[in-house]
Amino acid sequence: MLTRIEHLKSLLVNIGFEEKEAAIFLSILELKEAIPSTIARRSNVKRPTTYVILEKLQRKGLVSHVRRNDITYFRAVNPNLLIEEENDKLLKLKNALPEMIKLQNAFGTTPQLTIFEGKNGLIQIMEDTLTTKTGLLCWCDVDTAIDTILKDYFPTYLKKKIQKKIWLNGIFTYNKGGLRHKKYQKSELREVHLVPKDKFPFKNEINIYDDKVAIISHQDEIGVIIQNQNIADTQRAIFNLAFEYAKILEKDLLTKEDLAYLKSEDT
């Protein structure tokens, strides 16, 4: 009879993982967070090969890293993000998710900071926001966020968000993109209030959800997810305070032309 690890490894190989990739991915899940030498020992893969595979898994958006005191630690993404389609192979993987998540939670402490880089990394952050059970709170300069490497991805993200019926409260800077997002706020499941860009020049996009705070610097192509309930709750309280203030600022910000544009559709 196959062990739990052998069974999960077989499922991962069945959906396209190489055998050593599967071994290393599961070892990172089990360890929660580890340096390459520890991952190599647990997965029984030679250290030079482990470095190569970790790099491949990062490019695929399946593994992220964080540096502390000049030491690099690796973490695996949430196993839920492996599910993209409902076919026979992935259904087997979906059925195994409880075991994989149990494996992930069996060792170590809850991750506090995960760093993502490049297009695949930023997509992983955005996809993680779609797992929310509490809705999204978002600070953003829409023009800055959309005109990036994720430009082609955003329509897909929006479609998934609407399908999942995820509500978003947003504080966006006043510009063309912010106005467009306010105009279609009802159909796209959000409430948006605009603030002057000269006073509030948002350089990053921030999403607050569940026990997480996701911060993306689109121009730098890097982002982080901070997972801590107290941090998330405090950021949520700060956002809610700012959200009420944004409603007041917006009244003096919108022109007659803006109001006519906003009322022309989606009222």
Distance, CA of 233 to CA of 194 (rounded, Å):
23
User: Could you count the other beta carbons within 10 Å of the beta carbon of residue 109?
Assistant: 7
Say what the pLDDT of residue 108 is.
44
Residue in 27, 99, 109 with CA at minimum distance from that of residue 62 = 27
Say what the pLDDT of residue 97 is.
67
* Token couple for 215: 């911060």
In the numeric block, the tokens 């029984």 are attached to 44
Say what the pLDDT of residue 153 is.
93
In the numeric block, the tokens 């730098």 are attached to 220
Average pLDDT of the chain is 85
Task: Tell me the whole-structure pTM to 2 decimals.
Answer: 0.64
Residue 110 has pLDDT above 70, yes or no: no
SS3 category, 13? helix
User: Could you count the other beta carbons within 10 Å of the beta carbon of residue 218?
Assistant: 21
Q: What percent of the chain has pLDDT over 90?
A: 48
Say what the pLDDT of residue 167 is.
97
Residue in 245, 177, 235, 241 with CA at minimum distance from that of residue 210 = 235
Distance, CA of 88 to CA of 103 (rounded, Å):
23
Confidence of residue 267 (pLDDT cuts 50, 70, 90): very low
Say what the pLDDT of residue 86 is.
41
Say what the pLDDT of residue 9 is.
80
Residue 29 has pLDDT above 50, yes or no: yes
